[in-house]
Structures are given as structure tokens and as C-alpha cells.
A and B are shown apart, each in its own frame.
Chain A
Amino acid sequence: MRCTLLCSLVTVLIVAGPLHAGVVNPDISVVGQPSLGFTDDSQVPDAKRVRLDVGETEMMFDSYLNPYARGIFILSLADGQLDLEEGYFTILRGLPGGLNLKGGKYRVGFGKLNSAHPHANPFAEPFHVLRTYLPGDESFNETGLSLSERLPAPGDMSLTATVDWLQGDTFRRERAVTEASIAAGDPRDTYASGPDRSGETRPAVVGRISGFTMVGERSGLEFGVSATQGTNNVAAKALTRVYGADVKAKLWNSAQSYLVLQGELLKLDREDAFWDSGTKVYVKNKVSPMGGYVFADYNFATRYNAGASFESYQSDNADKVWNKAVGLFAGFALMEETTAIRADWSHFMPGTPAESDGHTKAVNTFTIRVIYSMGPHKAHQF
């Protein structure tokens, strides 16, 4: 599938090139991010050894499709696997009332960080609370349609409402199923013929309202609330809901330096379905943890930055223990993101479950990344 996708894309570009060279060729950018890392996490196979990693390589193709729409494809190459990370169109103008419509596969606009690509962040790893609460393995990334409208607001304040209708694949949660449980009547029948309804997807929905206001001549403040709901087990009709509130402030204190303060608060409400072999019905247990993160990033002398982060969140299980993490990071960018070096240390302190022996092992991770990119560099979005 991936090979077919890449071949198709390359074919289109080759054909388009000689026909209308310089007119229809998209902007092509490539971002590499090799890294050098070290962790004492005993769960990782190469713990306590310095690891060199080529990291994820992203290839971006974007262009106006016509005066009314833009298209973008982002291919991701990691661990030898080529994947379509994002591929969507956006209708920018021509819809009634200033509506914007986006459709395809994209990083969902829940909160502030999820929609951004990790290489744009000043820290190496995404926050644990986002990876734990939001659907999806590495990010909340879905196929769907997104409709947004700018709402009336005083002065130059921007207020936008967005609603997404998603395929819902990332909400699906695997249940532990064995041959014995199937023999006992677990309807998740992977060994016999018949539909596996627990593996089906149901459409999911995301809603977000975000606002932005200038602070002084150059600084700005953005805030937002987000909510999402999807089905994690169709057969059991088990739902996952996540609610979030986010805020970001960018405060300039000179022509060449500014401070970014950013944070999110999230609450997860998830029904975890279990099959009761005795009563032969699904039983749902609800987990409702909450957590959040904050970070501060000071950028100075145009090219340097240094910052710190903190997160605290409850585990998404019955224990609901509090896990914490702190981090320090710093970076230097020669010419914007054409070449940037970023160093990162994170200290993760998992919580102690009640039934454990009371010992939790904190994990330290050090990372040095080089972000390098070729191709057109877009302007910085707030």
C-alpha cells in the first residue's frame, strides 16, 4: 500500500513537471532529525547505551490546487516504514460565510500541541499525558472532515469554532482475547468466520473553540477548549471522551527575545469493556483520570532558546496513580529551521500503584537532535 502510494505520488510529480514546470509543481520540503540518545529506562532494549538514530524523516508536498484550495501531503519515513502522516485538502475561500473545509488525513486540532509536528517543538518527546489520554499511538491522527468558522469577536480578537467528523479508527482499543475466552462465548471471534464487531469503527467527533488576542504591539495570548468523543469498542458500545483546555502566551521583551508559556489540562472519560463469560454480556468499567503539562521556553539573541517543562497526570487505569515528569531543553538554530541543534533531558517519575511494593523507578532520558530541512520555509504561525 505504502509502495503504491509513493509510486503514485512520484508518477504524478514526474508527469506534472515537464507539462507545466514552475507553474504546478508543489513546494517540496524534507525534514530530517537524526538524534543521539541515552536512557536508563529498563523497559527499553538498549537502555544505558548511547543510541544513534536517524529519526523520522518527513517529506512535505504542498501547493495551491486552484484559487480556492490548497493541498498538502506529508510522508513520514521512520524505522524503514513509509507512511502517509497527513494528506488533506483545505478549501480556503468560496464557501458561504467564510467557512473553511478541510478533508483527508490529518493531525487533529485537539488542544494546541497535537496538530504540530514534533520537530517544531523545542523538546524531544511529546508529553506523556497527551500520549496516554488522546487516541492514537503517537498522536491523535485521523481521517476526517473539518469545518471551521470565525465567530464575531471584539476588535482584532480572533475566535474560531471548529468541528471535525472523524473515521474513528484511533479510538479502537484492543481487548485481551484468548481461545479459551472465545470458546466461552467472547464475541470477539478472530478465529472463526463472522464479523468482529469489536474491531469495527464508528465515526468520532471533535469540537474546539479557540481564541487569540494581541497583548501589546507584538505579544499574543491564545486559549482554547476542546472535546472529543469516539467509540473504542463497537460491540460493547464503549465510548472514549477527552476534554481539554489550553493556553499559550508569547511575550516579547526585546526585538530578539521572547518567552513562550504554554500549558494544557486534560480529562479522560473512558469506558473499558470486558466480556463476562458467566453472564455472557459486556461489562464496562469507567476510568476518569486527569492531568496536564506546562512548559516555558525562552528564546533570545534570535538563535538560542532554553526552557523547562513539567507534567503531572493520573494513570488511565483503576489505580489512577499520579505520574510526574520534569524536563530541561535548549537549542541553537543557525538559520531558522534549516539547521537546528536541540538538547533535551527528561526525568519521568511513575506513580506507585497501591498493590505494588512501593518502589517506582524514575527514568532519565537524554537526547541531542539535529533538525535540518531543505525546501521552502513557511512563516511561523503563532
Chain B
Amino acid sequence: MIKIYINRFFHNRLAIFSSICILILIFIAIFSNIISPYEPNRQNLVQRLLPPTKQFIMGTDDLGRDVFSRIIYGSRVSLTVGAVAVGISMFIGIILGLVSGYYGGIIDSIIMRLVDIMLCFPTFFLILMVIAFLEPNIYNVMIVIGLTSWPGITRLIRGEVLSIRERDYIQLAKISGISDLRIMFVHILPNVIGPIVVNTTLGIGSAILAESALSFLGLGVQPPTPSWGNILTTGKDYIHIAWWLSVFPGIMIFFTVLCFNLLGEGLRDIFDPRTSG
């Protein structure tokens, strides 16, 4: 089974391309301090708002900081937020989905109504509101994004579990006296790993987007810590005279989210049995 998936992965150009790009991004994020040519927060008011040159390949911002270095450090924020937020939402979503689908009945009804309620809120405004009450920093942003994006994954996993728990091998496992917990996590969970992986990658994309939007609005990562979102905020004020301040972080957000979405699409093709032919 796993071999088949790996084989399909290496025949899927989209998946390979996007995962290489993501690996490069992760590499950049980890080794930011080595790669970046300057301190991201080092100000030099003499060299403010310089266009891209050999010295500053993405120009400088209004305080004379090197945009390239800030973008490199910003990748840390984006990837961390993406990973942690999706980790939180997956953790909640997987557990609730498994319990809901496996036990059914009243437990299922309660969890599903909870999901319906969560889906009724315009999520982004909910996040905005909660962040407005809390202190806006990177930890709160990660937690709030994570805590608001679990309903979709819960519903998805519940649906998968509903069909799998009726299979004979689950019945047999029950008959053989294997505990519910073990059946859920050892017997059912590996069977739904496909949709989980696909949704994790897609979820990372939208979490990064949400973080950028929050930072852009000033409710996310607070300056001077660089994030793609708050570099854009600065760029907004100088868009007539310094295009590079908006364009480069914009491209990075666009490119990163695109990569994660393409990887998600690619993985969906890989895990979909109908594409096996």
C-alpha cells in the first residue's frame, strides 16, 4: 500500500515540484540567520526606501531595513503559524471526528451540531474579534487560527469513519475484544490517512493566509518581528514610491500558499483510488 503511494508520488510532477519548493522554504526558515545578509531589525535611516540593488536585492523599507532579510525571517513566522495552527486543528478534528463517527448516536449528534454552529460563524471575523480581546502576538494567532479551523476536518473524518466502521474487519476487531481506543487509532485512523494528509497541506496554506491577513491588519505578529503580513502593511503606505515593499512579500505569500495547495491537490490524486488506472 505505502509502496504504491510512494510510487505514485514520484510520478506526480505537481506533487514533486511543490514539495521541493516547500522543502526549500523550510530550509530557508530554519537557516534564516545564516542565509540573510543583514540583521532583519537593523535600521539604517540613511538607506531608507532604496529600490532593489545589488546590495539590497529586494530594496529597503521605511526604516532602512533590508527587505530580503526580513522576508527570510518572515518565513519562520509563516511556517510556524501554518504548522502549529494546523496541528491544533488536526488534533481536535481527528479526535472529535473519530469519536463522532465511531460511537454515533447522541455523541455524534452533539459534536455535529457543534460543528454546524462553528461553521455558521464567519471564521475570519471570529478570529479578528477574539484576537482583539487577547493580546495580539504570534502565539495567540496560532492558537486562535487552530481553534477555529477544526470543524471542516471533523466533518470530513467523521464521514470517512462512518463508512469504515461498518467494514467487517472493524466488527471482527470488536468481536476479538480489542479496545475501542485501539480500534479507533490503530484500525480506523490509518485508513483515513489520505484525506487527513491532503487536508493538512491545504489547511497550512489557509493558515498562512490567515496569519498574513491578521498581521496586515495589525492584529497578528507585532513589529518589529518581521512577518510577511506586516511587511505588506508598511508597503501599503509607500506603494506609490516603493513598489518592492508590497510586491516581494505578496509574491512570497502567493507562492507559499500556492505550493501547499498544489501539494494538497497532488496528494489528493495520489490517495484517490480512482486515479490508480
* Chain B associates with chain A: no
